[in-house]
Chains A and B, each alone.
Chain A
Amino acid sequence: MTARAAWRRFAPHLALAPMLGVALVAYLGSTLWTLAVSFTPSRSFPVAGFAGLAAYERLFSNARWLLSLENLALYGLLFVAAALVLGVALALAVDRVARGASALRTIFLYPYAMSFIATGLVWQWLLNPGIGIQEAVRQWGVAGFVFDWIVDPDRVVYTLVLATAWQAAGLVMVIALAGLRNVDPEIRKAARLDGIPAWRTTVSIVLPMIGPALATALLLLLASTVKLYDAVVAMTQGGPGTASEVPAKFIMDHLFGRANIALASAGSIVLLLTVAALLAPVMIARAHGRSRLGGR
């Protein structure tokens, strides 16, 4: 084939080569390496050797790890729902605002700009029954007001949802806003002329149009759910006791502080497999659906 035709044919592949390289070497390579280490008796650093499934056995008999997985499931559900709903609602509201949209966007997005080490500490103070919101409301006269989720082992996960949704909703908002910018305002007018109530237009027409943006937001939220660490360290340190432990913190603690890389690696692999198990069916179903409809 001519040079020009060859360039046309292979240009996309060339463009994707860096991505391919990174995906294979960095990500696939790291995952395989982590898998290998999880079968060794490594402690402070990787050593050769074969320890079989010892790390996995220890992992699944560890109460803290099992609790971490439970916490992550509960947290994930609530956090994704809260951030998505709040973010989309904010986007829809801000989209309609004529003036001051920039200021509003900054107000809702600024939490994302700040390191959670400091903002997490502030949330810890605000949620602390002795010095935070509970104390403030009581001082204003509402005696007996109780808001002590953060020291309650059964409710502490909700506080994590609160603070992280506070941080993430702004990002969901801008992603949805970017999608909304491509929605023709004529559609709303046309729908209203047809007598369709405004909320119906939003739910049945506008939201599906920003479907890909919502999918992006959903994936980002899921990724940050799995990696939840800074918030737990800044707000509760896994407490009270081990009530707010999460897998990423378990992995991190054993990777550095507790010097047991094999266990940390085993935890990482299990976490990754869990995520894959949850996402794979969705991905495959979408791929099938698309190929049947003729490939959009």
Chain B
Amino acid sequence: MGAAARAFEHRVARLGGGAFLFFSAIFFLLPLYVMIVTSLKPMDEIRGGHLLSLPLAPGLAAWREAWSEACTGVACEGIGGGFLNSVRIAVPSTLIAVALGALNGYALSFWRSRWTGWVFGVLLAGAFIPLQVMIYPLVRLTANLGLFGTLPGIVLVHVIFSMPVMTLLFRNYYRSLPRELFLAARIDGGGFLGIFLHLALPMSLPMIAVASILQVTGVWNDYLLGLVFAGRENLPMTVQLNNVINTTTGVRLYNVHMAATLLTSLVPLAVYFLSGRWFVRGIATGAVKG
């Protein structure tokens, strides 16, 4: 193929890729546009106007109300109060779950034996069970452990539910890495934990990023588990968010709902953006060559 033809093909491919990204971005951003626009309109305009139209007189009243004035029961203090609780639940849940997932994945991929395959299979099957089905047995379990309605209780529950996915992520990831590295480390005298801390973990930064994304999002947005297991003193922000959005027969303020949802999603979004630094390229490949 001539150089000119190759260059042309290259440019078409880049244009095509660019167009694809552009139109995809529009598709992805459309609901966000609606959410932001709705959150800036007063209720009269939402009721009477059009979904995609820009607000006539944009205002942040709904945002203020969502954070500090929306009614979530007798208290009308918005969703801001639960923020600290959400952090207190999310941080340990993410750290412990990701660490355990990495450890399990590592053990399962490099130190296999027959029965570990079966245990992993059971765990994987667990990923398919809707979590509401497991609530009652877990209520009994945590009550027997004396952890029902406590912060350690809700962290434990989150770790339990995240175990299948976290383990799966890291196990498959480690399987895609060259086995020679691991064998070389063993020959050099590395032990189980040593290889984990000095070889496997540093190589898994991208997967740690993905796992953190998954876990933070899951824990931050989940409210059913927090509602049942966290106890009244530790209720996460999502409980108040649900109270603002999901009233059964009360009046629905769509602008406040949208503002509240956008506010609650800022933390996972921040995690996504910051985790970008961990999507580093070619750690493993470089190591093999060298």
Contacts and interface: CB of A to CB of B under 8 A. Distances in A.
The answer on A and B forming one complex is yes
Interface stretch (A55-63, A152-160, A208-216): A208-216
Interface string B114-156: 0011010111111111111110111001000000000000000
A236 interface: no
Given A115-B238, A174-B213, A215 B172 contact: yes
Interface stretch (B57-65, B87-95, B175-183): B175-183
Interface residues of A, number: 105
A105 B25 CA distance: 10
B129 A122 contact: no
Contact of B119 (A16, A94, A122, A271): A16
B210 to A, nearest CB: 5
B175 A118 contact: no
A226 B31 contact: no
B245 interface: yes
B40 interface: no
B103 interface: yes
Given A23-B122, A107-B29, A136-B51, A118 B35 contact: yes
Interface of A: 7-8, 11-12, 15-16, 18-20, 22-31, 33-34, 45-46, 86, 89-90, 93-94, 96-97, 101-102, 104-115, 117-119, 121-123, 125-126, 131-132, 135-136, 139, 166, 170-171, 174-175, 177-179, 181-185, 192, 195, 197-199, 209-213, 215-216, 219-220, 222-223, 226-227, 229, 248, 251-252, 255-256, 261, 264-265, 268, 271-272, 275-276, 283, 287, 296
Given A15-B104, A107-B29, A125-B51, A175 B284 contact: no
Contact of B13 (A114, A139, A198, A271): A198
A268 B129 contact: yes
A122 to B, nearest CB: 5
Interface SS of A by simple majority: helix
Contacts of B21: 90, 93-94, 97, 104
A268 B9 CA distance: 52
A163 B222 CA distance: 19
B207 interface: yes
Contacts of B51: 125-126, 131-132, 135-136
Most A CB within 10 A of own CB, among B10, B13, B17, B128: B128
A293 to B, nearest CB: 13
Contact of A219 (B111, B124, B265): B124
A223 B127 CA distance: 6
A113 B24 contact: no
A268 B206 CA distance: 35
- Range, interface on chain B: 35 or more
B276 interface: yes
A30 B134 contact: yes
A117 B246 contact: yes
Nearest to A89: B20
Given A104-B25, A184-B285, A30 B133 contact: yes
Given A114-B261, A199-B13, 6 more contacts: A22-B159, A23-B122, A210-B176, A211-B176, A219-B168, A226-B128
B284 A182 contact: yes
Contacts of A101: 276
A183 B134 CA distance: 40
Contacts of B169: 175, 216
Given A89-B20, A122-B31, A181-B279, A212 B257 contact: no
Contacts of B32: 110
B191 interface: yes
Contact of B176 (A26, A212, A229, A252): A212
